[in-house]
Amino acid sequence: MSQSKTAPKKLFIKTYGCQMNVYDSERMVEALGGQGYVETQSPDDADMILLNTCHIREKAAEKVYSELGRYKHLKAERPDLKIGVAGCVAQAEGEEIIRRQPMVDLVVGPQSYHRLPEMEAKAGAGVKALDTDFPEEDKFEKLTSRPKAKRGPTAFLTVQEGCDKFCAFCVVPYTRGAEVSRPAGRVLSEARDLVERGVREITLLGQNVNAYHGHDKGLAGIIRDLAKIDGLERIRFTTSHPNDMDDALIAAHAEVEKLMPYLHLPVQAGSDKILKRMNRQHTAESYLKVVERLRAARPDLHLSGDFIVGFPEETEEDFQATLDLVEAVQYGSAFSFKYSERPGTPAAERPQVSEDEKDDRLQRLQALLGRQQRALQDAMVGREVGVLFEKPGRKPGQMGGKSDYLHAVHVAGEGLSVGDLRRVRIVESGANSLKGELL
């Protein structure tokens, strides 16, 4: 008789927040793969449910507790089901999560997910597992090698974590820790592995990615080395701080063909008074000078940004300064939010702007940003761009992908496959995407 194989255990992982959490979730799936887990898309048949959380948005912790409440019936039906909380809310809340939701078996911070296998074993033995340390070892180095399975054409690759800027509104330095950069050799090795598995575009990730110092020539140095990898056709990076946009990185935008002409460069506000209260350590003028230098290096560069309206003590005059900066830059896309208090951050203790004023300012800012985004998108009609195709389109015979400028583009064409990189002429601008024709 042949020996029966043990059925694999199923892992359901729900990811909140930024691209770094997406990358972290991929690596957590791989870490638990060695324990016999395979990923499932439904919590209903999972042997482990893992929430990879984000602490940036308002009431993040309460949303996690609400989500956990939805799994109580599953835990009641299957007491062997393991439930875990990972990421930044786990780091911030720690033991409080287990106290408020005793059904949670493990809580792991973003710097410790390489320890998931041993934590899973503890939970399997009926012991609550908690790890929110900032360990000295490199979690990436401790993780097992990525499996050689085929991948989609785009991938995230974390090169830097943590932040030393201590913006007055932000919890990242407290949940992700101080800035740490991965050694260049490890980054390049992982990139080559991704390319071998079908990846053609890599986005380098970091909370403050242009502060990367794992290469002796900084982020520009690792970008230039990545550009030498055969088969890697596109390079992007996010998120940047204006103060770390150095000469070498600006030059890379002019000289490295594989570095795409799209840059996310948050400013947060246009008022120097508010920028100082935010502890951003730059002025509106210094930001605009960086933008000017970048566009001199790469005239077709599309910029995106982050904005917070209604920051404590923001006046209408301060807000108008933000609108003036937006007019000066002309953004291709942007993310804008009302300020919301983060307990433990300096800004939470200051006089707050009323919710009505925040709502009004956000609507006005988003209207302006929306007009700019639409104008730049409409201006793409008639231009030729590269498009990396990522998935079938909504209509039969269509393929969808992203342009050099990160616009969504759909094309009708026979013989196109996922992973193809083709030249396309843009013929139409829709509400949220562009229509193209193959050249």
DSSP 172-218: HHHHT-S-EE--HHHHHHHHHHHHHTT--EEEEE-TTGGG--SSTTH
Asked if residue 18 belongs to a known ligand binding site, the reply is yes
Asked if residue 163 belongs to a known ligand binding site, the reply is yes
Provide the total of helices (H) and of strands (E) in the chain, helices listed first. Answer: 15, 19
Asked if residue 106 belongs to a known ligand binding site, the reply is no
- Beta strands at 129-131 and 154-158: parallel, antiparallel or unpaired: unpaired
- The count of residues in the chain is 439
Sheet holding 129-131, edge to edge: 37-39, 9-15, 48-53, 82-87, 106-108, 129-131
Would you call 188 exposed, middle or buried from its count of C-beta atoms within 10 A (0-12, 13-18, 19+)?
middle
Asked if residue 341 belongs to a known ligand binding site, the reply is no
C-alpha distance across the termini of the chain, in Å: 59
Asked if residue 54 belongs to a known ligand binding site, the reply is yes
User: Locate tokens 């912790």: which residue?
Assistant: 61
Write the CA distances from 427 to 200, 372, 431, 436, integer angstroms.
Answer: 25, 19, 14, 5
3-state secondary structure of 90: helix
Asked if residue 170 belongs to a known ligand binding site, the reply is yes
> Which residues are annotated as part of the binding site for [4Fe-4S] cluster?
18, 54, 88, 163, 167, 170
Annotated binding site: 18, 54, 88, 163, 167, 170
